[in-house]
Chain A
Amino acid sequence: MATLALAGCGGGSDSEGGGGDKPAASDDVCKTADGDGPKIGLAYDVGGRGDQSFNDSAYAGMEKAVSDFDATCIEGEATDGEAESAREDRLRNMAESGATAIVGVGFAYSESVNAVAPDFPEVNFAVIDGFDPDDTANDNVAYLGFAEEQGSFLVGVAAAEKSQSGTIGFVGGVNNELIQKFEAGYTAGAKAAKPDIKVEVQYIQESDLSGFGDPAGGKAAATGEFDKGADVVYHAAGGSGSGVFDAAVEAGEGNWAIGVDSDQYLTATAEQKPFILTSMLKRVDTATYNFAKSIDEGKPLVSYTVYDLKQDGVGYSSANESAITDLTTSIDEYKAKIISGEITVPTKP
C-alpha cells in the first residue's frame, strides 16, 4: 500500500513540474462522475483541458462542483481556426445530451451562445469573459467577467515593495483594452506603494493576437526592461509569459517575474520557479463553480457578473512562500482598502 501511495505522489509532482502533457482521460472527473446533481457542459477554448491556465481553471471549478453537490459534466474542446458553426454545434450537442447548464470558456463563445441560447430556453448558459453581442437581452445567459485591474493592483504593490532598483516592468501580450486593464491596475498599485517608482511598459504586439503565444517576443520585451534597470516584471501575455520567466532567470538572482491568470509558480519549470514572485489570479474556477452552484440551488445566474476581490474572483498567489512572506501584510492591507471601497482602481492606464 505504502509504495503505491508513494508512486502516486511521484507521478503527481512530475506532471506538475514538467507540464504540457494532457492528463489521461481516466482522471477526467467528467468521465467518472455519476451523481444526481445538475449536468453541466464545459465548452473549452483552444487548448482545452491540460493548458495549465484558463481552461484548466474552469475544469478545477467543475471538479469542485462534482465533489460538492454531485454535479456531472460533459466536455468539448475548440480546435484552432474552427468555424463559428463548430462552436454552435458544440453547444447544441451539449444541450441535446441533456446538459441543463453550459459554460463557454472564453469570450470567443459570446456570439455562438447568443445564437444557440434562444433555441434552448430551458438550458442556462454562461460565457467566461463574455458579452451580449446584440440588443436583445438573453434571459438564460450569464456573462462572467473579472476585475483584472484589482488583482493587478495587488501584484503591483508586491512588485514595488520587492524592487530594490526603483524600476519595475510590465509586459503585455497585445495592446488592447483588456490587457490595458492589467497595466492600469499594476501601475496604480505600484505607485500607491511607492509613489516615485518607475514603471517600464512594453507590449509584444500592437494588435495581432499572436502576442499571446510568442515566448521569444515575451523574452525580448522582458529582457529589455531588465536591461533598463527593472528588477520585477509582471506579464499579462498568456503563453508568451514563459519567455518572461526565462528573461528573469537570465537576469539572475534579485530579479523577479510575476505570473498571470493561474498560479504559474505551480506549473513553471524547476529553473524558473525561484524567480516567480507571485501570480495575479483570475479565478475562472470560482466563476465556474459559482455558476454551477447557482444552477444546483435553482437560482441560475443571468446577465453580467463581475468577479472582483470582494468575491475572491481575482487575487494573488503566495505559493513562493520565501519570496512573498514579507510582503503579504502590506498587500492584504491594500486588498482590504479596495474591498471597502477606500481605493478605486483605474481600468485605463
Chain B
Amino acid sequence: MTGRLKSVALALLAPAIAIVLSILVTTLVIAAVGSSPGEFWSTMFEVPKPRLRVDIVNQTAMIYIAAVAAAIGFRMGLFNIGLEGQYTIASFAAASFAGAAYLGGFANVIASLAVAMLVGAAWSGIAGLLKTTRGVSEVISTIMLNAIAVTLVGYFLNNYGVKEGNTVHTKNLEPSSTLGGFSPFEDRDGEIWALSIVALLLGIGFWVLLNKTRFGFDLRASGQSESAALASGINPKRMILISMMLSGAVAGLIWMPALFGGARNYGTSFQVGLGFLGIAVALLGRNRPVGMLFGALLFAFLSVKSNDLTFGTDVSPSIVQITQGVAVLAVVVTYEVVRRWRTRLEQRAVSRELTGTTAGATS
C-alpha cells in the first residue's frame, strides 16, 4: 500500500467504525424494546419517495448551513452552543422585516438576508464581547442567550404578531417576495428551495476562507495554539470577537431557505433544533466542508426517512435520534483512537527506519 492510499484508508476508518457502531447500537435498542430491527432497517434503507428526496435536499441545506456556522467557531477553538438562539432571533427578525415589505420583490429578499445575518451576528457578538472583555466562557453565555432569544421572540410575537386561530405569527410575505424553488418531480412532491443554494455557496466560501485567506490562517492558528498565534502577531481578542460574530451571521441564515421557500412567516412552521443538529454535524464532519456535507446528508436522510417508520413498523421515529447521537459520539471517540493508533504507527515506522539506518552505519 502506498503512503497516500494508506492515509485515505485511515481517514475513512473512523467514520466507517462510527457508522457500524451506531447501526449496532440502534439495532440493540430496537431489539431490547421488543421490536423488529430487520423491519426498521429495511424501512430506513428503502429508496425514498420523490417528495422525501426533495425534503432530504432541503433539510440537508439547512443543517449544512448550521454546521458551517458551528465549524467557524470550532476551528477557532470556540464552542458556540448558541446557534439555536442566534438563528431563532435572526429568523424572527428577518421574517418580520420581510413581512413588513419595506422593499419589493427580490430586493426584499436580499435585505432580509442581510437583516438575518446582522441580527445573528449581533446576538453572538454579545457572547463574544462578554468573553473578550469579562472572560465569560462562551459556552455559558451562549446557552443563556438561547433562553433569552426564545423568550424575547415569544414576547414580540405575542404583542406585535398576527393572531390567527390559536397561534401567532409574523406578517405573511408578499407573494412577490417568496422565491419558491425548483421542482424536480411532480408539483405535489414539493420544491427544492431556491435558497438551498446558500448552503453550497457557504461551503465553498468556508473552504476558501480557511485555506486561501490571511484571516483563515489566523483563525486556524488561533484555534490550534493561542500563544503561537499571539507570537506571530495575531490579536486573539479581535479574532474571538470576529469569529464569534461570523459564526452568528452564518447561523442567521439557517432557516432562510424555508422562510422564502414556502413557510411565508415565522410561526408554527418554524423548525427548531437545527442549531443543535448543526453542532453535531460539525463534529461528525470534523469541521471540514466536505465531511460536513456528508454528515448533513446523513442526518437529513435519517430524520426525513424516519417518518416512514410509523407506517408498517411499530418503531417510534424518535429512535433515529439515538442513531444520530451514537454516530456523533462514536466519530469523536474513534477519531481520537485512530489518531493515536496512527501516531503510534508513524512512530514505529520512524524508529524502524532510524534503527535500520543506524544498523547499516554500524555494520
Is B151 a contact partner of A207 (Cβ separation < 8 A)?
Answer: yes
Q: Enumerate chain B residues within 8 angstroms of A80, measured Cβ to Cβ.
A: 273, 318
CB contact list, A118-171 vs B, under 8 A: 119, 129-133, 143
Chain A 181-222 against B: per-residue CB contact (8 Å), 1 yes, 0 no?
000000000000000000000000111111000000000000
State which of B55, B151, B307, B317 has its C-beta within 8 Å of the C-beta of A208.
Answer: B151
Q: Enumerate chain A residues within 8 angstroms of B317, measured Cβ to Cβ.
A: 77, 79
Is A108 a contact partner of B310 (Cβ separation < 8 A)?
Answer: no
Tell me, in angstroms, the Cα distance from A80 to B154 when the chains sit together: 18
Tell me, in angstroms, the Cα distance from A48 to B154 when the chains sit together: 25
CB contact list, B8-41 vs A, under 8 A: none
Question: Contacts A107-B268, A108-B268 hold; do A178 and B310 have CB atoms under 8 A apart?
Answer: no
Is A90 a contact partner of B58 (Cβ separation < 8 A)?
Answer: no
What is the CB-to-nearest-CB distance from A209 to chain B, in angstroms, rounded to a whole number? 8
Interface residues on B, range: 35 or more
Is A89 a contact partner of B51 (Cβ separation < 8 A)?
Answer: yes
Q: Enumerate chain A residues within 8 angstroms of B262, measured Cβ to Cβ.
A: 84
Is B314 a contact partner of A25 (Cβ separation < 8 A)?
Answer: yes
Q: Does A317 contact B (CB under 8 A)?
A: no
Is A131 a contact partner of B158 (Cβ separation < 8 A)?
Answer: no
Is A81 a contact partner of B158 (Cβ separation < 8 A)?
Answer: no
Q: Does B185 contact A (CB under 8 A)?
A: no
Question: Contacts A75-B310, A176-B158, A208-B150 hold; do A81 and B271 have CB atoms under 8 A apart?
Answer: yes
Q: Does B217 contact A (CB under 8 A)?
A: no
Q: Does B168 contact A (CB under 8 A)?
A: yes
Tell me, in angstroms, the Cα distance from A21 to B269 when the chains sit together: 30
Is B263 a contact partner of A206 (Cβ separation < 8 A)?
Answer: no
Is A90 a contact partner of B165 (Cβ separation < 8 A)?
Answer: no
Is B273 a contact partner of A107 (Cβ separation < 8 A)?
Answer: no
Q: Does B164 contact A (CB under 8 A)?
A: yes
State which of B150, B151, B263, B307 has its C-beta within 8 Å of the C-beta of A84.
Answer: B263
Tell me, in angstroms, the Cα distance from A129 to B154 when the chains sit together: 20
Q: Does A273 contact B (CB under 8 A)?
A: no
Chain A 249-279 against B: per-residue CB contact (8 Å), 1 yes, 0 no?
0000000000000000000000000000000
State which of A93, A130, A131, A178 has its C-beta within 8 Å of the C-beta of B307.
Answer: A93
Q: Enumerate chain A residues within 8 angstroms of B322, measured Cβ to Cβ.
A: none
State which of A119, A177, A206 has its C-beta within 8 Å of the C-beta of B154.
Answer: A206
CB contact list, B250-279 vs A, under 8 A: 258, 262-263, 267-269, 271-273
**B314 (CB) vs chain A CBs: closest residue:** A25
Is B304 a contact partner of A86 (Cβ separation < 8 A)?
Answer: yes
Tell me, in angstroms, the Cα distance from A228 to B239 when the chains sit together: 53
| Partner-A contacts on B (CB < 8 A) | 51-52, 55, 58-59, 150-151, 154-155, 157-158, 163-168, 188, 190, 258, 262-263, 267-269, 271-273, 303-304, 306-308, 310-311, 314, 316-318, 321
